[in-house]
Structure 1
């Protein structure tokens, strides 16, 4: 990986975080069935699915769609989208891919079809956009240049008798290439002077860099697992010494927070955990031309929802910037959202990444937990954790991130809170729901996310986050 330029966003007073809602960009027309965007870093191939039959069918008598084995331009992430954003894909999706260079075809891999619960809240401008589509979760497959896909519907007796399928209309296979790392090699970090404004709602060009001496010049994951340390020793893990918001000690974090308070504010010293190290959007190479301009905010952050990306565990930490760029492009270009859905992402090495733009210290409204995106933040751990346990590094990163971010808003990670439902399959719109401050996605929506193995670790994260806050 190449070196990155430095940028930084500081901590702001919670009272200053509520900003006017930004207006969404005008709705754009739905793209044609086959699209490609060579003019910007990365690309998306969109291929319409066709009926399948014979030996390619997953089960006898089932109506299916898919694509036969074929050559395509290089890609690294796959997913299925369809026309109706409210429609569900009730069935099974499997893909096979051919690795670039070796020509080896993988076995059939399942794609998680339960992705509609990761979406903008009903009734919002983002949800109402004509660009929004239904979609599966994305699956990271690595550098590939061949693909085969099959989709089998779940049909009840009435649907079978009618000769119809429960598959949604307009299904297309999305093949996403993340593009090369955009940051130039050998870039030197800038230095933020004392007193520079903190916590800006900004694009990367408006970001402020960290103070001198705040950055380590080597990649050093905190509490890394043995496999991650072996990866680091082998040279596969990139140096992320630039384009990061540096970690601050407890005293430094509290000092920054107190310095940003309005004159005359005499409230007692808050419980805020140390600010963790965060890789910025520029750090993972976000193409800011993809997303809509402007930002949308809630009044505060009262809760954190933990997710898994369901994109598989077959990635190295050195590949994470590419994985995030691919998910970002899939959320915006393929699913039609205004930006990546999550506020933060965490990898298995414990690195934390800035997600949706608008300021890491601010109450940015995401598209992560359908019905509960207001007054909350979404943290997605890269991987699938239905059967696989998350790394200790990832759980620790969740604890550190929530200790800091929730602390800015005076929230106890071990506490309970109330959020008003925007509408979903567990709670009707307008219902005040009592939730853990650190909740799993399944607490607000009937879903497997964040996977049972991750869900069982949330108690550990709550306890650790409270300890980091000094409670």
Structure 2
């Protein structure tokens, strides 16, 4: 038997609001395991033991008699068989237990544990299977943990209704140690006392130090932790610590799964890091969008037959009312999110199939005088809570709209003495439902990306720098954006060229009050193959042009979002200057001189210390730069113009085919559901698939290569533990399952949801192998990309810029030369199907529907990377220029500046032909930014020879974040 013992020492942790590190954290949708920190806090010991798999056999009579519950409707048998079992085993003293696995445990399996306390064994206890959170949070499937107080022995058994082979099944036990005491955080306005993460000893240094945020908070989901109800008040912090340790080291999550936890004594504990008043995405509901836009509150205990205490209920009322007040959410009513219609205050069982939060607590939610009634009373100013509402501080006055366009509103207000920041709340509803929020350090805020001719309501409050509220909201003011037609302007006049170089033309024109101007530039008087350039004000310069070339230019007025406000002016004709031979030579010489650097010998430490800027190849849009630009008030069109100069906005609709690389089998297997069809791709003929066959529900469908002739395919189904062929179907060529959404069964993990069509595709005619391809609309594809590429809590304008770039990148990849258009990994751009979607990113996709970047009338190559470091890199296209990026340098970007130590032995191992490394020297850079810019040529000198490599080669071989470095 293999066991693993992990000792964690937990560091104090304040409110963490900085977005850290690699874009890979959110691309992959999988949080990373924490490192180990050392301080004087009590140890948290997590031990893991393998649970042996039991050879598949028919269930015994005893097992049949012992089956404690009926299976789900999808499972035809009522029998249970043991598929894995750990005999009673001595374990070092622990207080919490849970079970995890890699794959092979059916969703309806029973996972049971028992433990030894004071020499006596408990009865078998069923642990709730919590696999729903695996695809929303990542990590390992597993159960909820069970608090056992004190135990020194454990036994496990897994029982299923059909033959199953669990893979990498482990039982995790946790000893959280004891804390001397906890102290609630001093309450802000309306906030109940909350015990901070630092007070209960939260673990620091995780991937959740870069929190993910929803666009708002829309409701609350109530849970229970499960486990004993007989804990003491001093045990509560240990339970929270143990829960975090199990979630992080058993489930491989980045942090504890809940936003808040409340004990039976009324103590409220801060859960996942990121800010107690912010819409932090946690891992509580099993539904990604619900995790992003609700607060997960877990009541500590089991409430199947035991009711929550009065203190626990009062604390829950206070907490929910405070957060609902902050986001102007009513206590009652419903909303739609993640494919569900939920009450504003819902139970976990309303989101997924579970007993949580227990029958007693669930009944209390809707009871007369229950949670919803008491929160509603407290929000109305009554005494529904347990602690009352503290008096507020000064509310900002004088809120008014000072400017309006068809897509933007500017607001201003009076200064409040001592207020560090302000938060503006904006909604199309007077009740402020589905509001968006904007921070400002000044006394005004311009909000862009709005709908023309629409009435908006706005409020403002004062806040701390960390987002803590300092005052209630002001009264609402209402104002409407201008209609698109009312914003039409006259054609600009006076267009002329004011300066010319060999590679640029400067223009000026008469300003007429339009939001922006667009210049159309072409080398042809017919304006064919034109490029488009956006400007503010009354002048602008277009660079990157050809020397000694005649150009034609026209100008029109446009909205911030690119909507045309006028026709084009008449064209003007102007030529760039011819390049002089001496200038070319001087420029080349200057670049060479600036690029060279001193040769550096291997240090005595045998390790080079690299300093660098940025993360990724740096070509095109910087994702952190886009967020920085949005924070600086830039619209998404401004952001795109900056990173892709010379491109225009076009439109594209249609279908795209994404390769599903996680399905490494030759089958396309999906879960049974109503409304399924099978379509033969070549002929277009469809077959409607039944929900049940022979009176039994179809559990799964699968398109498989025919065993006797793998060039052909067949359709199979399963209603029990055995598979059958459906109506003797066989065919040649591709076929696909179709429905609004389908759950694809993957070989190494839980199901993943995809939209529209899942195709069994042949790489070439007559192939015997198959690939799984998701065919769907370009818009739905883009929805599955954006939240995998950037955090869904980022500013709306940054999300819109990412949506246009992602849509463009996908459209450009569409081809008829192979059986798919684009892959779903970082080799293309990351696509996660419907599971990846989030409300905020869906809004960004909808707001930019169909828009793509074009160049010369064709889709542009819209490359992007995590961080430019302050200057983008030149790419393969005229519009992929090296441009200065001041937006990239903001407090949340840990990739703007970085350091890394690389041993000489690492470099030698990658380039063994040079022998023992003696020195390195940068011989050429691209000339943009610090140190002369990105490295384009690096010379390695060794005992056996010299090797010249590119900066990108060095980045890959040395494990650097980018090719922009020095040492």
Superposition TM-score, scaled by structure 1 size: 0.65
Structure-1 separation of matches of 2:82 and 2:14: 52
1:36-435 mapped onto 2 (5 Å cutoff): 41-51=43-53, 59=63, 62-84=81-103, 88=107, 90-97=109-116, 99=117, 103-119=118-134, 121=136, 126-127=137-138, 132-147=139-154, 149-155=155-161, 159=162, 165-166=163-164, 168-181=166-179, 240=182, 242=183, 244-247=184-187, 253=189, 274-289=190-205, 292-371=208-287, 372-419=290-337, 421=338, 431=339, 433-435=340-342
- Unpaired runs of 5+ residues, structure 2, are 1-10, 65-79, 382-967
Question: In the TM superposition, what is the alpha-carbon distance from 1:79 to its structure 2 partner?
Answer: 0.8
Please name the residue that 1:196 is paired with. Answer: none
Structure-1 separation of matches of 2:105 and 2:148: 27
Structure-2 separation of matches of 1:454 and 1:417: 21
Structure-2 separation of matches of 1:57 and 1:71: 29
Question: In the TM superposition, what is the alpha-carbon distance from 1:145 to its structure 2 partner?
Answer: 2.5
Q: Is the 8 A contact 1:350 1:397 kept in 2?
A: yes
Please name the residue that 1:457 is paired with. Answer: 364
Any idea what the Cα deviations from partners look like across 1:147-167, whole Å, max 9, x if unmatched?
2x1314132xxx4xxxxx336
Question: In the TM superposition, what is the alpha-carbon distance from 1:38 to its structure 2 partner?
Answer: 10
Per the alignment, in what secondary structure is the counterpart of residue 305 of structure 2? coil
Q: Is the 8 A contact 2:102 2:140 kept in 1?
A: yes
Q: Is the 8 A contact 1:286 1:325 kept in 2?
A: yes
Structure-2 separation of matches of 1:311 and 1:19: 34
Structure-1 separation of matches of 2:61 and 2:101: 20
Any idea what the Cα deviations from partners look like across 1:182-240, whole Å, max 9, x if unmatched?
xxx7xxxxxxxxxxxxxxxxxxxxxxxxxxxxxxxxxxxxxxxxxxxxxxxxxxxx5x4
Question: In the TM superposition, what is the alpha-carbon distance from 1:462 to its structure 2 partner?
Answer: 1.1
Structure-1 separation of matches of 2:208 and 2:277: 20
Instruction: Describe the shift of the 1:338–1:19 C-alpha distance in structure 2 as closer, same or farther (beyond 3 A).
Output: closer
- Unpaired runs of 5+ residues, structure 1, are 10-16, 160-164, 186-237, 254-273, 422-430
Question: In the TM superposition, what is the alpha-carbon distance from 1:302 to its structure 2 partner?
Answer: 0.5
Per the alignment, in what secondary structure is the counterpart of residue 325 of structure 2? helix
Question: In the TM superposition, what is the alpha-carbon distance from 1:355 to its structure 2 partner?
Answer: 0.3
Please name the residue that 2:489 is paired with. Answer: none
Per the alignment, in what secondary structure is the counterpart of residue 96 of structure 1? strand
Q: Is the 8 A contact 1:120 1:373 kept in 2?
A: no
Q: Is the 8 A contact 2:99 2:142 kept in 1?
A: yes
Structure-2 separation of matches of 1:109 and 1:75: 17
Question: In the TM superposition, what is the alpha-carbon distance from 1:296 to its structure 2 partner?
Answer: 0.7
Please name the residue that 2:380 is paired with. Answer: 470
Moved more, 347-356 or 105-114: 105-114
Q: Is the 8 A contact 1:395 1:457 kept in 2?
A: no
Greater relative contact order (Cα < 8 A, sep 6+): 1
Superposition TM-score, scaled by structure 2 size: 0.33
In terms of fraction of residues, the more strand-rich structure is 2
Question: In the TM superposition, what is the alpha-carbon distance from 1:24 to its structure 2 partner?
Answer: 6.1
Structure-1 separation of matches of 2:21 and 2:215: 10
Alignment length (residue pairs): 342
Q: Is the 8 A contact 1:89 1:166 kept in 2?
A: no
Structure-2 separation of matches of 1:391 and 1:334: 30
Question: In the TM superposition, what is the alpha-carbon distance from 1:278 to its structure 2 partner?
Answer: 0.4
Instruction: Describe the shift of the 1:92–1:83 C-alpha distance in structure 2 as closer, same or farther (beyond 3 A).
Output: closer
Higher-Rg structure is 2
Structure-2 separation of matches of 1:86 and 1:283: 37
Question: In the TM superposition, what is the alpha-carbon distance from 1:89 to its structure 2 partner?
Answer: 5.8
Moved over 6 A (4+): 5-9, 17-22, 26-31, 36-40
Question: In the TM superposition, what is the alpha-carbon distance from 1:59 to its structure 2 partner?
Answer: 2.5
Per the alignment, in what secondary structure is the counterpart of residue 132 of structure 2? coil
Instruction: Describe the shift of the 1:29–1:114 C-alpha distance in structure 2 as closer, same or farther (beyond 3 A).
Output: closer
Instruction: Describe the shift of the 1:80–1:86 C-alpha distance in structure 2 as closer, same or farther (beyond 3 A).
Output: closer
Structure-2 separation of matches of 1:57 and 1:67: 21
Any idea what the Cα deviations from partners look like across 1:110-154, whole Å, max 9, x if unmatched?
032332234562xxxx43xxxx1111111111232222x131413
Per the alignment, in what secondary structure is the counterpart of residue 374 of structure 2? helix
Structure-1 separation of matches of 2:167 and 2:146: 21
Structure-2 separation of matches of 1:18 and 1:415: 34
Instruction: Describe the shift of the 1:170–1:29 C-alpha distance in structure 2 as closer, same or farther (beyond 3 A).
Output: farther
Instruction: Describe the shift of the 1:300–1:285 C-alpha distance in structure 2 as closer, same or farther (beyond 3 A).
Output: same
Structure-2 separation of matches of 1:150 and 1:385: 23
Per the alignment, in what secondary structure is the counterpart of residue 456 of structure 1? helix
Structure-2 separation of matches of 1:29 and 1:277: 30
Q: Is the 8 A contact 1:90 1:166 kept in 2?
A: no
Structure-2 separation of matches of 1:458 and 1:329: 29
Instruction: Describe the shift of the 1:366–1:57 C-alpha distance in structure 2 as closer, same or farther (beyond 3 A).
Output: farther
